């Protein structure tokens, strides 16, 4: 950041594994909110943007607070069914939200590869698709939001299996099997910093691009927009 750039402040709602990493990365520029310091609209309005990593069980309450605040927000909540009317409510609030099941920037490169594999698999003989995901034992939703996204990206019927082990950050495998061969694609997260960096990147992208219209955006769509700007 140069001396001429604005110094942004961030509300970080949810101080668990990923939220805690985000707080560490942002340092003094972040204001933490959890059960000991509950967020309110007035408190959130004192910051430029909110980064939210709360469990699905807490999402409904936080949604109302963030809507009232009207500030941009980044949502990493999984295991939650987003209300159908949410996009319209966010637009009316004049806010801009980004929602993602996985904020790894490299995962979006994987997404492009999965699209190719899914589309090209129609040329294979009787392909079968299986996705397996592994996460830490404290992860509440199963299968992971990322595994469900992989199946969507694949565009094919695929079975999904899950495992919970120790403090595994996240491993996702795709196996495409035919009678004569197998194709494997794997993504393994070695550190939660990748999710923190992706969420912070998304927040800074919104702040740096105020022309983006109010509404709800998927993280992958914002990534694709930024990717096009590179070419």
| Encoded tokens for 98 | 């980004």
Contact 135, 172 (CB under 8 A): no
> Which among 58, 53, 97 is positioned nearest to 203, based on CA atoms?
97
Sign of CA dihedral 61, 65, 67, 68: positive
What residues are annotated to the active site?
135, 139
| CB atoms inside a 10 Å sphere around CB 202 | 26
Q: What's the token pair of residue 36?
A: 């000991």
């Amino acid at each position: 950041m140069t001396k001429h750039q604005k110094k942004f402040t961030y509300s970080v709602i949810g101080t668990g594994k990923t939220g805690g990493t985000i707080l560490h990365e942002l340092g003094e520029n972040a204001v933490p909110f959890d059960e000991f310091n509950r967020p309110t609209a007035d408190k959130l309005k004192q910051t430029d943007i909110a980064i939210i990593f709360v469990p699905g069980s807490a999402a409904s309450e936080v949604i109302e607070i963030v809507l009232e605040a009207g500030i941009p927000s980044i949502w990493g909540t999984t295991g939650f069914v987003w209300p159908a009317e949410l996009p319209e409510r966010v637009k009316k609030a004049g806010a801009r939200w980004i929602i993602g099941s996985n904020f790894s920037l490299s995962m979006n490169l994987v997404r492009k590869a999965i699209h190719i594999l899914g589309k090209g698999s129609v040329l294979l003989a009787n392909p079968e698709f299986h996705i397996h995901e592994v996460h830490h034992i404290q992860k509440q939703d199963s299968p992971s939001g990322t595994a469900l996204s992989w199946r969507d990206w694949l565009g094919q019927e695929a079975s999904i299996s899950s495992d919970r082990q120790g403090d595994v950050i996240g491993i996702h495998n795709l196996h495409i099997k035919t009678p004569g061969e197998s194709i494997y694609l794997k993504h393994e997260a070695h550190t939660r910093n990748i999710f923190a960096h992706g969420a912070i990147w998304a927040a800074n992208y919104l702040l740096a691009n105020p022309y983006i219209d109010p509404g709800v955006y998927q993280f992958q769509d914002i990534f694709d927009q930024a990717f096009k700007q590179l070419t």
